Amino acid sequence: GSYELEYLGVDISTQMVETAINLYGNHSNVGFECADIRTSKLARPFDLYLSCGVPYSHLTHQELDQALKMIVTNVCENRSRCAVIVDVLGRYSIESTTAHFPGG
């Protein structure tokens, strides 16, 4: 049989969620939720937890620890087999350091 992938995008910024809804909200298999990954529990299990980009570079070490623990909590509480991919760009990443220089 075949199945359709289902996506849930989560962001703390209502503006980012609204932008995502405007761009992709017409797809029946795509949903978006405004939530804080450091404290929010997901209502259902997922096969893949993917978190990438720059969001972690804005967190303190304590907030990063909180976010990663919540991802693990979601996986454990939903008792699902899944993959977890977290791409953590540090404060000294090229994205972070070039933002402070003219022309960067």
pTM confidence score = 0.70
Per-residue pLDDT tens over the stretch 25-78:
999 999 999 998 888 888 888 888 887 766 677 778 898 889 889 888 888 887
CA–CA distance, 32 with 73 (Å, rounded to integer): 20
What SS3 state is found at 19? helix
CB 74 within 8 Å of CB 37? no
CA–CA distance, 42 with 53 (Å, rounded to integer): 20
Q: Where do the structural domains in the chain lie, given as residue ranges?
A: 7-98
The correct answer on CATH 3.40.50.300 for the domain covering 7-98 is no
Structure tokens at 53: 């980009």
CA–CA distance, 30 with 23 (Å, rounded to integer): 11
